[in-house]
Chain A
Amino acid sequence: MKHWEVVIGIETHVQLSTQSKIFSGSSTAFGADPNAQANAVDVALPGVLPVLNKGAVDCAIRFGLAVGGQIAPKSVFARKNYFYPDLPKGYQISQYELPVVVGGEVAIQVVQGDEAEEKTVHLTRAHLEEDAGKSLHEDFHGKTGIDLNRAGTPLLEIVTEPDMRSSAEAVAYARALHALVRWIGICDGNMQEGSFRCDANVSVRPVGQEEFGTRREIKNLNSFRFLQQAIDYEVQWQIAEIEDGRAIQQATVLFDPDTGETRAMRSKEDAHDYRYFPDPDLLPLIIDRDWVDRARAAMPELPAAKRQRFVDEFKLSAYDAATLTASLELAGYFEAALEDGGKTNAKACANWVMVELAARLNKDGLDISQSPVSPIQLGGLIARIADGTISNNIAKKVFEALWNGEGRTADEVIEKQGLKQITDSGAIEALIDGVLAANAAMVAEFRSGKEKAFNALVGQAMKAAKGKANPQQVNELLRKKLG
């Protein structure tokens, strides 16, 4: 049996978070009544004309900057002609020969077992286009309903080179891209609502062979899991076909999540001739240096730069830095918490955000942006741990109290619930004396050489202090008293 190499390229349709459509003033909000958000331009009445929404161009520029691509000083909108009931004009306005972004790359991390491999996926291009409407085949007694609310929604289509070699890499790329477009604020990333959809071009070739195999394109994958399943199925199907002596035919295929299989939708022979030509209703899109500079000035710090800064400035591990920069919201939360928690306590702060907070959010099914504990509150809590006001264990109590809204600040909770740590050695000594008097048997055990008994005595002392005694001091004083 031969060894096969998988080759994957991905095209992603990213719905841009503009208020209005790319060529009309209609709202892009999701979920309105059918056709409530379709105006004369969206319905393609006779005589109407498109006008470009500059907000969509801003998004494209931001993306180009984020991936290090070239922002084309001149790009051209073209018409892609085909007939379909939910395509009102009979053509889609897209970009063909001259796209708005050329090149660029996305860094991905492919985790396999304990190993995380770094890899770069190169982008071919990204271009602006409009979405089509929706055909609704149910509830119309055998007829088809057309909803044009989505028609004209701005999309950025991002096309990679055939750089990926496994479904894991494809998913890693899709995840990295998904995080990036949300990070730079050009897409809400909502995959259920279709804001982020992938097409995967998949082929296989014998290991060592230079030229690519014939590819099939899996359309419209709207979850990472489907992306993985579809590619895995497609790869084993293609290998089986070739090994059975059948050639792969270029085709567009659909993935059926119910069966986990892909099936051909149309072959190359019946592929459309889209008759692309420059749209005479729109002037070439000219993006001058000023426009790019304005967009650059409005860009957030990018994930890679932030990751590196977390390592350099806060001495976090690469792993922690990567975890905390998974989203702009999470990184923002962490940095805001540090404002109050103190930069020297970055490691502790990172742990709290990644462990306690993450677990609690997860338990209640909340997103970081919905956290009941604000970063200021968490920062305040961490400051109190750092200055010895409370122990880490008591801090968990305070955190829970903050989560439940039982106080506005950590200080307030500590004060109200009397959780301040006892550090006065006189008070601790008195406590220990009481414990020693009440546990003569344990003391005897310790003296006979059982080290375990010491821990039991510490436990008793902490219990007597209701957990508030400084554990280190308790240890030291107890050992001193026991001689």
Chain B
Amino acid sequence: MIRRSVSDLAKALAEKEISSLELTQLYLDRIARHNDALNAFVSVDAERSLEQAKAADALRAAGRAQALTGIPIAQKDIFCAKGWRTTCGSRMLDNFVSPYDATVIEHFNAAGAVILGKTNMDEFAMGSSNETSYFGTVKNPWDTQRVPGGSSGGSAAAVAARLTPAATGTDTGGSIRQPAAMCGLTGIKPTYGVVSRYGMIAFASSLDQGGPMAQSAEDCALLLNTMAGFDERDSTSLNRPNEDYSCALATDKGGRPLAGLRIGLPREFFGEGCSPEVMRLIEDAIAEYRKLGAETVEVSLPNMKLSVPAYYVIAPAEASSNLSRFDGVRYGYRAPEYADLNDMYCKTRAQGFGAEVKRRILIGTYVLSHGYYDAYYLQAQRIRRLVANDFVAAFRQCDVILGPTSPTTAFKLGEKAADPVQMYLSDIYTIAVNLAGLPGISVPCGFSTDGQTRLPTGLQLIGNYFDEARLLDVAHRYQQVTDWHTQCPPAFA
């Protein structure tokens, strides 16, 4: 049962092979057994989850079940869920129980899905290895000496170890795609504005976007159907008709389903900086795509190299302001002892935030300061436009862009923790996509046999604005002829 995909589980539930209560209990048992080894979940509330499962079974009995009714789904602990402790991976919110539901949570609840628990993450989503969480490092199920990627590392590890059929993530600079690649999952970051940010604790508002993480593109499509949609509570949410992302995947297109598809290969993705092992697997995948009928064209994203520095101005700038609300006044952590108001602010924030969060608040405060704003923030915004324009030009020549998701497979715990710049560069292929607001998906494309253990690798497909359906389809066709995405870490099989 636990090896099954969301769509298979939905069938099992529909055919009364299993109840939601049983299924939820099954996963809760797995969490109880394996979470100590992985630290993927921050909060589990069996009673609450089983209550939802019972309600889902009742809904089904009443004939009102939808696609995700009764499916347990792990929620990244960045989504506010009513009655659930919502920590965002920070001591600052260790004691915060949300009094309201994020729009994404509302959508899952309305669909009858079950919240299986809240998953660990880098503190305030700031990190690429899940080592900045106040609640401890998450381990990669393929090798527990290694990181799962970040910041949605808890969600990635949980899905990979089959502690949940699927999970949500958020992606500001690669936080869905990079951990998906490192844990062997499929994860999609939609076009900015497709998934509501209301109730999703903000890191960098102009870059943050929620999305699903699951075994397959098919499962991601199912989840995205529920997550996406216009929300008047989010002014950056896009008011456009809802799409059925599963629909396109169901059609049989024969032996060469991708005939006519032009895949752009940016020369900047295939140069230095990527491990040869990862590159070899990407080349294999490209060969597979040609067999499926796609043609490849070389494209160029000349400003991509500027995207990491631009990102590390814009994201910290927004974060420094977004995190100002954590001041110890109204909720969350407050230092136990302080002399006066200023001292309360200083001690609360010094004790409540971890080192990486403080580093980014300092950077952000600096780049927004009087006299530096033009040189840093405005300049970064100009670069952002250049990066976006590169993609616009590239999409005149191709339909999707393909390249690696991450330059390496999962690295060792602690390996890059001391060197922020090395850590930041692990998002080199994903960050430009957020700057441009485009959709991107990471798809498992093989295993690195380098060393003792098998480590998964992901390929990244980048689509034009609102091309989620096409991205999912392109990923799905590949997954129909490969089985990388169905493989399970041996220790958790």
Q: Quick check: A51 and B321 within 8 Å, CB to CB?
A: no
Q: Quick check: A49 and B234 within 8 Å, CB to CB?
A: yes
A45 CB contact (under 8 Å) in B100, B235, B320, B345: B100
Asked if A44 lies at the interface with its beta carbon under 8 angstroms from chain B, I say yes
A90–B199 alpha-carbon span in the complex (Å): 18
A70–B400 alpha-carbon span in the complex (Å): 45
Q: Quick check: B325 and A90 within 8 Å, CB to CB?
A: yes
A69–B341 alpha-carbon span in the complex (Å): 42
Given contacts A45-B99, A47-B200, A88-B330, contact A83 B370 (CB under 8 A): no
Q: Quick check: A46 and B235 within 8 Å, CB to CB?
A: no
Asked if B88 lies at the interface with its beta carbon under 8 angstroms from chain A, I say yes
Asked if A85 lies at the interface with its beta carbon under 8 angstroms from chain B, I say yes
A17-46 contact mask (Cβ, 8 Å, vs B): 1 or 0? 000000000000000000000001001111
Q: Quick check: A275 and B206 within 8 Å, CB to CB?
A: no
A43–B330 alpha-carbon span in the complex (Å): 8
Interface hit among A186-194, A198-206, A276-284, A320-328 = A276-284
Q: Quick check: A281 and B235 within 8 Å, CB to CB?
A: yes
B233 CB contact (under 8 Å) in A44, A45, A49, A89: A49
Q: What is the CB-to-nearest-CB distance from A269 to chain B, in angstroms, rounded to a whole number?
A: 13
Asked if B96 lies at the interface with its beta carbon under 8 angstroms from chain A, I say yes
Q: Quick check: A280 and B318 within 8 Å, CB to CB?
A: yes
Asked if B329 lies at the interface with its beta carbon under 8 angstroms from chain A, I say yes
Q: Quick check: B202 and A51 within 8 Å, CB to CB?
A: no
Q: What is the CB-to-nearest-CB distance from B369 to chain A, in angstroms, rounded to a whole number?
A: 6
Given contacts A51-B232, A51-B233, A81-B368, contact A91 B324 (CB under 8 A): yes
Closest to B324 in A: A90
Q: Quick check: A47 and B368 within 8 Å, CB to CB?
A: no
Q: What is the CB-to-nearest-CB distance from A123 to chain B, in angstroms, rounded to a whole number?
A: 26
Asked if A98 lies at the interface with its beta carbon under 8 angstroms from chain B, I say no
Asked if A79 lies at the interface with its beta carbon under 8 angstroms from chain B, I say yes
Asked if B317 lies at the interface with its beta carbon under 8 angstroms from chain A, I say yes
A85–B198 alpha-carbon span in the complex (Å): 24
Q: Quick check: A40 and B100 within 8 Å, CB to CB?
A: yes
Q: What is the CB-to-nearest-CB distance from B443 to chain A, in angstroms, rounded to a whole number?
A: 30
Q: Quick check: B365 and A281 within 8 Å, CB to CB?
A: no
CB-defined contacts of B100 to chain A, threshold 8 Å = 40, 45
The listed residue with most A CB atoms (<10 A of its CB), out of B234, B326, B330, B365, is: B330
CB-defined contacts of A51 to chain B, threshold 8 Å = 232-235
CB-defined contacts of B204 to chain A, threshold 8 Å = 280
B313-333 contact mask (Cβ, 8 Å, vs A): 1 or 0? 000011011011111011110
Asked if B391 lies at the interface with its beta carbon under 8 angstroms from chain A, I say no
Q: Quick check: A50 and B235 within 8 Å, CB to CB?
A: yes
Q: What is the CB-to-nearest-CB distance from A354 to chain B, in angstroms, rounded to a whole number?
A: 50
Given contacts A83-B345, A88-B330, A277-B377, contact A47 B202 (CB under 8 A): yes
Asked if A110 lies at the interface with its beta carbon under 8 angstroms from chain B, I say no
Q: What is the CB-to-nearest-CB distance from B38 to chain A, in angstroms, rounded to a whole number?
A: 25
Closest to A80 in B: B321
Q: Quick check: A88 and B317 within 8 Å, CB to CB?
A: no
CB-defined contacts of B377 to chain A, threshold 8 Å = 277
Asked if B201 lies at the interface with its beta carbon under 8 angstroms from chain A, I say yes
Asked if A146 lies at the interface with its beta carbon under 8 angstroms from chain B, I say yes
The listed residue with most B CB atoms (<10 A of its CB), out of A44, A52, A83, A280, is: A280
Q: Quick check: A85 and B341 within 8 Å, CB to CB?
A: yes
- Which residues of B from 329 to 348 have beta carbons under 8 Å from A? 329-332, 341, 345
A282–B326 alpha-carbon span in the complex (Å): 21
B97-129 contact mask (Cβ, 8 Å, vs A): 1 or 0? 011101000000000000000000000000000
Given contacts A85-B329, A90-B327, contact A49 B197 (CB under 8 A): yes
Q: Quick check: B198 and A81 within 8 Å, CB to CB?
A: no
Q: Quick check: B99 and A275 within 8 Å, CB to CB?
A: no
Q: What is the CB-to-nearest-CB distance from B432 to chain A, in angstroms, rounded to a whole number?
A: 18
Asked if B373 lies at the interface with its beta carbon under 8 angstroms from chain A, I say yes
Q: What is the CB-to-nearest-CB distance from B323 to chain A, in angstroms, rounded to a whole number?
A: 8
CB-defined contacts of A283 to chain B, threshold 8 Å = 235-236
Asked if B86 lies at the interface with its beta carbon under 8 angstroms from chain A, I say yes
CB-defined contacts of B202 to chain A, threshold 8 Å = 46-47, 281
Given contacts A83-B345, A273-B370, A277-B377, contact A49 B198 (CB under 8 A): yes
A71-109 contact mask (Cβ, 8 Å, vs B): 1 or 0? 000000001010101001111000000000000000000
B184-206 contact mask (Cβ, 8 Å, vs A): 1 or 0? 00000000000001111110111
Q: What is the CB-to-nearest-CB distance from A29 to chain B, in angstroms, rounded to a whole number?
A: 22
Asked if A136 lies at the interface with its beta carbon under 8 angstroms from chain B, I say no
CB-defined contacts of B330 to chain A, threshold 8 Å = 43-44, 88, 146
A47 CB contact (under 8 Å) in B199, B206, B235: B199
The listed residue with most B CB atoms (<10 A of its CB), out of A46, A47, A273, A283, is: A46
Asked if A359 lies at the interface with its beta carbon under 8 angstroms from chain B, I say no
Q: What is the CB-to-nearest-CB distance from B341 to chain A, in angstroms, rounded to a whole number?
A: 7
Q: What is the CB-to-nearest-CB distance from B340 to chain A, in angstroms, rounded to a whole number?
A: 11
Q: Quick check: B327 and A46 within 8 Å, CB to CB?
A: no
Q: Quick check: A280 and B232 within 8 Å, CB to CB?
A: no
Q: Quick check: A281 and B236 within 8 Å, CB to CB?
A: yes
Asked if B13 lies at the interface with its beta carbon under 8 angstroms from chain A, I say no
Asked if B93 lies at the interface with its beta carbon under 8 angstroms from chain A, I say yes
Q: What is the CB-to-nearest-CB distance from B245 to chain A, in angstroms, rounded to a whole number?
A: 24
Asked if B459 lies at the interface with its beta carbon under 8 angstroms from chain A, I say no
CB-defined contacts of A273 to chain B, threshold 8 Å = 369-370
CB-defined contacts of B370 to chain A, threshold 8 Å = 273, 275
B76-102 contact mask (Cβ, 8 Å, vs A): 1 or 0? 000110000010100001001011101
A81–B320 alpha-carbon span in the complex (Å): 9
A49–B86 alpha-carbon span in the complex (Å): 17
Q: Quick check: B80 and A47 within 8 Å, CB to CB?
A: yes
Asked if A111 lies at the interface with its beta carbon under 8 angstroms from chain B, I say no
A44–B322 alpha-carbon span in the complex (Å): 10
B325 CB contact (under 8 Å) in A89, A277, A281: A89
Closest to B88 in A: A46
Q: What is the CB-to-nearest-CB distance from A183 to chain B, in angstroms, rounded to a whole number?
A: 32
CB-defined contacts of A48 to chain B, threshold 8 Å = 198-199
A46–B369 alpha-carbon span in the complex (Å): 25
Q: Quick check: B373 and A277 within 8 Å, CB to CB?
A: yes
A47–B205 alpha-carbon span in the complex (Å): 10
Given contacts A46-B88, A273-B370, contact A81 B197 (CB under 8 A): no
CB-defined contacts of A90 to chain B, threshold 8 Å = 321, 323-325, 327
A90–B368 alpha-carbon span in the complex (Å): 15
B291-316 contact mask (Cβ, 8 Å, vs A): 1 or 0? 00000000000000000000000000
CB-defined contacts of B323 to chain A, threshold 8 Å = 90
A49–B237 alpha-carbon span in the complex (Å): 11
A49–B202 alpha-carbon span in the complex (Å): 9
Closest to B330 in A: A43
- Which residues of A from 267 to 293 have beta carbons under 8 Å from B? 273, 275-277, 280-283
CB-defined contacts of A50 to chain B, threshold 8 Å = 235
A47–B197 alpha-carbon span in the complex (Å): 7
B205 CB contact (under 8 Å) in A52, A88, A280: A280
Given contacts A51-B233, A83-B345, A277-B377, contact A45 B331 (CB under 8 A): yes
A277–B369 alpha-carbon span in the complex (Å): 10
Q: Quick check: B321 and A79 within 8 Å, CB to CB?
A: yes
A65–B150 alpha-carbon span in the complex (Å): 52
CB-defined contacts of A52 to chain B, threshold 8 Å = 235
15 additional contacts (CB under 8 A) given A46-B325, A48-B199, A90-B324: A44-B330, A46-B93, A46-B326, A47-B200, A47-B201, A49-B198, A50-B235, A88-B325, A88-B330, A146-B329, A146-B330, A275-B368, A276-B368, A281-B236, A282-B235
11 A-B pairs with C-beta separation under 8 A: A45-B80, A45-B98, A46-B80, A49-B234, A51-B232, A51-B233, A79-B321, A90-B327, A275-B321, A277-B377, A280-B206
Closest 4 A/B residue pairs (Cβ): A90-B324, A275-B368, A280-B206, A280-B205
